[in-house]
Amino acid sequence: MNAINTADTSFMIFATVLVMLMTPGLALFYGGMVRRKNVLSTTVHSYTAMVIISLQWVLIGYTLCFGKDFAGFIGNFQFLGLHGVGFLPNADYAGTIPQSVFMLFQLMFAIITPALISGAIAERMKFLAFAVFILVWTTLVYDPIAHWVWGAGGWLRNLGALDFAGGNVVHISSGISALVVALVIGRRKKLKSITPHNLPMTLLGAGILWFGWFGFNAGSALGVNGVALNAFITTNTSAAASALTWCICELIVRKKITSLGLASGIVVGLVAITPGAGFVSPMSSILIGGIGGIICYFSVTVVKIKFGYDDALDAFGCHGIGGIWGGIATGIFASKAINSAGANGLIHGNIKLLGIQLIAIVATVAYSAIMTFIILKVLGKFMSLRVTADEESDGLDVSQHGEEAYGGIDI
C-alpha cells in the first residue's frame, strides 16, 4: 500500500519550507541578542549551516541517518549521493510521500541543529573554525544520533524511545554540544557589560521560529492525519504556556516582564513539546510548556550565573535543558489514545517508558558531550578556535568578515 498520497505530499512540502524558514528566524533571534559589532557574524553562523549542511546532506548525511542499518548505530551508504532517493516512497519512514520529500524535510532539521549551537559560542569563535566544526559535528554527532532515534534499526528506536520531532536528535544534542563548546573556548571578555543590541529583531526571530515550528512538529507526522493536527495544537499550546510561566517567574523575581523573557519563554515551550508533540494531549502540553518555562527560566538566570559558563545566547539553557525536560515529559504524559504508534507514559500507568526515555537522554547527552569535546580538541590542533583579544574587541563583523552591519557615518 505504498501509494503516493498527494495531500500528504503537498502537506509535507509545505512543512519542509516552514522548517527551512526557522533557520533564518534563528539568525534573527540570535542576531538581536549580540552587540552591534557581532550581529553579522552571528547571523552568518545560521546561514553557514544552510550552506554546508545542504551539501553534506545530499552527499553523505542522509544515507548515514536513513540508509540501511549497521549495528543499530549508523546507516550504510545505500543512499550515498542520493542514489535511489526519488519519487518512490521509502516504506520504512513514510509510505505515502516520495522519499525525496522525506529527505528534504529531514534536511531542514539537520540544518537548524548545528545553527542552534552557534548561540553558545557567539561573539568569540573564529568563523572558519565554526564552519569546519559544524561539518564534522553533523557527520559524527547529528547523523548517528538521528539514526539511533529515527532510523529503521536504530538502537534507541528499537528500545522504544519516543522522540516525535527531535527532542534528542535536535535539541539535546545541540544544547549539550553548545555547552561543551562554550566551556572549551571560554568566556567572552567584558561579560558583565554585554547587552542585546536589537531586541525587536530577536522578537521577530522568535515569531518566525514559532511559525516554522508548526512544520517541524506537525510535519513530523509525515502526513495529514489526527497525529499531525494534535501536534499542531500541542505545539502552539506549549509555546503559550511556557511564555506565560516564564513571564510569571520574571514578575515574581524581578517585578517586570521583559520582551526578551517573553521571546525566550516562547522558544522554550516549543523546544519542550518537540519530543512529545505527537504523543501527548493538548491538556498535557499546557503542563509540559508551563513547567518547561519555569525550569529554563531558572537554568538561564540562576544556574548559568552560579556556574559561570558563558552560554552566550542560552543554547544550552533553552535547548539542552528544555529538550531534556521534553524527553522526560514525554515519558510521563505520552498516551496511546493520542497516537496508537506511541506508548503510554507514567500517568497512564506505564513506568517503563520513562526509563526508556531516560536511557535515550543519557545516551544522547554522553555521546554529544564526548564527541564534541574530541572534535574540538582535534580541530584545535589544526586551527585556533577562538579569535584574538583584539579581534574580539573590534567585533567579529569587522575582524572575521570585513563588514559592518550599521557602520560608518551617514553621508
Partner 1 sequence: MEEKFSKIDIITSSSKFEELKEALNVIGVSGMTVSNVLGCGIQKGHKEFYRGLALDINLLPKLKVEIIVCDIPVELVVETAKEVLHTGKMGDGKIFVYDVKNIIRISNGAEGRDALRYNK
Q: Does 407 participate in binding partner 1 (rule CB under 8 A)?
A: yes
Site for partner 1, residues 127 to 156, rule: CB under 8 A: none
Q: Does 403 participate in binding partner 1 (rule CB under 8 A)?
A: yes
Q: Does 349 participate in binding partner 1 (rule CB under 8 A)?
A: no
Sign of the torsion formed by the C-alpha atoms of 6, 270, 146 and 128: positive
Site map (CB under 8 A) of partner 1, residues 47-86, x = contact:
----------------------------------------
Q: Which is nearer to partner 1, 3 or 193 (CB)?
A: 193
Site map (CB under 8 A) of partner 1, residues 10-49, x = contact:
---------------------------x------------
CB atoms within 10 A of CB 58: 18
Looking at 87-95, 190-198, 199-207, 244-252, which segment touches partner 1 (CB under 8 A)? 190-198
Distance CA 172, CA 169 (A): 7
Q: Which is nearer to partner 1, 41 or 237 (CB)?
A: 41
Q: Which is nearer to partner 1, 147 or 197 (CB)?
A: 197
Looking at 187-195, 305-313, 318-326, 346-354, which segment touches partner 1 (CB under 8 A)? 187-195
Q: Does 337 participate in binding partner 1 (rule CB under 8 A)?
A: no
Minimum distance between the CB of residue 47 and partner 1, rounded to whole angstroms?
17
Q: Which is nearer to partner 1, 252 or 409 (CB)?
A: 409
Q: Does 196 participate in binding partner 1 (rule CB under 8 A)?
A: no
Q: Which is nearer to partner 1, 256 or 390 (CB)?
A: 390
For residue 75, list its beta bridge partners: 69
Q: Which is nearer to partner 1, 174 or 198 (CB)?
A: 198
Q: Does 409 participate in binding partner 1 (rule CB under 8 A)?
A: yes
Are 147 and 75 in contact by the 8 Å Cβ rule? The answer is yes
Minimum distance between the CB of residue 94 and partner 1, rounded to whole angstroms?
42
Are 139 and 65 in contact by the 8 Å Cβ rule? The answer is no
Q: Which is nearer to partner 1, 2 or 393 (CB)?
A: 393
For residue 300, list its beta bridge partners: none
Q: Does 411 participate in binding partner 1 (rule CB under 8 A)?
A: no
Minimum distance between the CB of residue 288 and partner 1, rounded to whole angstroms?
41
Number of residues that bind partner 1 (CB under 8 A): 14
Q: Does 193 participate in binding partner 1 (rule CB under 8 A)?
A: yes
Looking at 245-253, 283-291, 316-324, 397-405, which segment touches partner 1 (CB under 8 A)? 397-405
Q: Which of 190, 254, 352, 377 binds partner 1 (CB under 8 A)?
A: 190
Site for partner 1, residues 375 to 394, rule: CB under 8 A: 393-394
Looking at 20-28, 98-106, 188-196, 343-351, which segment touches partner 1 (CB under 8 A)? 188-196
Q: Does 402 participate in binding partner 1 (rule CB under 8 A)?
A: yes
Q: Does 404 participate in binding partner 1 (rule CB under 8 A)?
A: yes
Burial class (CB in 10 A: 0-12, 13-18, 19+), 9: buried
For residue 241, list its beta bridge partners: none
Residues forming contacts to partner 1 in the complex (CB under 8 A) are 37, 190, 192-193, 393-394, 398-399, 402-404, 407-409
